Structure formats: C-alpha cells, structure tokens
C-alpha cells in the first residue's frame, strides 16, 4: 500500500483529523486512554482509513497498547508495523530545549536548526527572548513549559519505563523496526533501518518501505 494512501493523525491532539495504521510514540503526556481509544475506534470506521491508519503518539504505555490491541481485534484488525525513530538521550536535550513555537499558527522554530530571522544571542550565548519573533506574523514566539533540561529528565525516565516496553510487546510478532533518527530529515527518510541496508539500486528508502504498511511508530 503506497504511503500516500495512509491517513495520519496524533491522538495527543483532540479531536484528531486523520488517523492511519501506523503508531508514532513519543515521551510526552497523553489524554485518558479510554478517551483516545474511543476516538480511534470511531475515526478508523471512516472511509479514508479503509487501507490503514497511522497513530502518532499513542499508545504510550503497555496497558494502552494492550487496550489498542483489544479494540482492533474486536474489528478483526491488528497492528501490523511498529517503527521506533531512535535518537540518543544525549542529543534530545539540544533538540528539545532549543524549540520555540508560534502558538497561534503552530509554526515551529529551533535556535540551531531553524532560527527565526530576528534571533539575537545574549552574552550567555543563549537567544534573547525579545528577539524570538515569528517570521510571518511578527508576533512573539514562546517555549513549552516542559521543554527544559530538568523536565526532559523526567520525560525520558517515563519514556524508557513506560513506552519502550511496547517494543518488547510487539517484537515477538516480527513487526518492529528501528530507524536512526539522529540525522537530517532527508537522511531519516533515506537511511537504513537496523534490519539492514536497502538493496542496491533501490529508489525507495527504508523508512519509505517501512511506511508502506499499516504502522505504529515509536520515537
């Protein structure tokens, strides 16, 4: 099934607008499991999910994964792919703590990888908050309250303790994949999975190949 036929959404944002049979998991908080399962159950009955759906950010715990399995089984369905986008913990602090957002539009910036045009650094080498302005609207940018080094420690502890076990849950079914996400986006899309390098002459990336089926993704 081509990637373009898969709808995508994140149950972390209610209500989701699109969902497909892929799951992407991240170490952030999520709404009530029952609420999300109910949303997913209703959403995947719509016609644009008949070829599959991607779940972005759910399940985050083994209990949620088993609840998802039970719901899908009641419809004669199941998770057919779980993809882990792997980034070393040591790299995540730079990525997460450098994020700034324009809340109204959802535009995202990063002090290193995508700084706003107006960004200026202070004497401490950190961006001057007053200079963090959205390129389009000229309005102030802000950081999430949990995008801090201290909050990250707690979030990673929860992730490794509660979310990573989901990989072990699905591993016996032979449906898990790990993609090296510690590189540029083009590299992630065109890189190799731990299962092995793409075949010589192949024009499709491993992540592209992975996403040709119904998936759950873990990052």
- 69 and 114 assigned to the same domain: no
Residues 138 and 190 in one domain: no
Instruction: Quote the crossing angle between the two packed helices 33-43 and 62-73, to the nearest 10°.
Output: 30
Range of the domain at 126: 99-142
Tokens 């779940």 — which residue?
55
Cα–Cα distance, 124 to 114 (Å, whole number): 20
Residues 16, 47 within the same domain: yes
- Percent residues over pLDDT 70 in the chain: 72
Interatomic CA distance for residues 25 and 94, integer angstroms: 20
Quickly state the pLDDT bin for 75 (edges 50, 70, 90): confident
Evaluate whether residue 134 is within a structural domain: yes
| DSSP SS3 for 48 | helix
Structural domain tally of the chain? 2
pLDDT digits (tens, 9 = 90+) for 143-201: 988 888 888 888 888 888 988 899 999 999 998 888 888 888 777 776 554 444 433 33
How many Cα atoms occupy the beta-carbon half-sphere of 125 within 13 Å?
Answer: 1
């Amino acid at each position: 099934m081509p990637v373009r036929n898969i709808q995508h959404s994140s149950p972390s944002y209610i209500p989701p607008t699109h969902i497909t049979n892929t799951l992407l998991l991240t170490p952030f908080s999520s709404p009530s499991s029952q609420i999300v399962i109910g949303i997913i159950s209703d959403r995947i009955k719509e016609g644009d999910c008949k070829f599959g759906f991607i779940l972005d950010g759910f399940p985050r715990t083994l209990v949620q994964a088993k609840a998802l399995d039970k719901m899908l089984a009641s419809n004669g369905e199941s998770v057919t792919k779980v993809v882990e986008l792997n980034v070393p913990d040591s790299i995540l602090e730079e990525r997460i703590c450098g994020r700034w957002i324009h809340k109204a539009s959802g535009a995202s910036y990063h002090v290193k990888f995508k700084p706003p045009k107006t960004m200026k650094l202070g004497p401490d080498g950190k961006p001057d908050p007053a200079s963090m302005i959205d390129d389009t609207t000229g309005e102030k940018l802000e950081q999430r309250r949990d995008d801090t080094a201290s909050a990250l420690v707690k979030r990673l502890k929860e992730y490794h303790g509660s979310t990573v076990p989901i990989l072990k849950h699905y591993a016996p079914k032979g449906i898990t994949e790990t993609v090296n996400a510690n590189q540029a986006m083009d590299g992630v899309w065109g890189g190799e999975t731990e299962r092995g390098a793409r075949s010589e002459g192949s024009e499709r990336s491993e992540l592209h190949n992975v996403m040709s089926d119904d998936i759950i993704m873990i990052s």
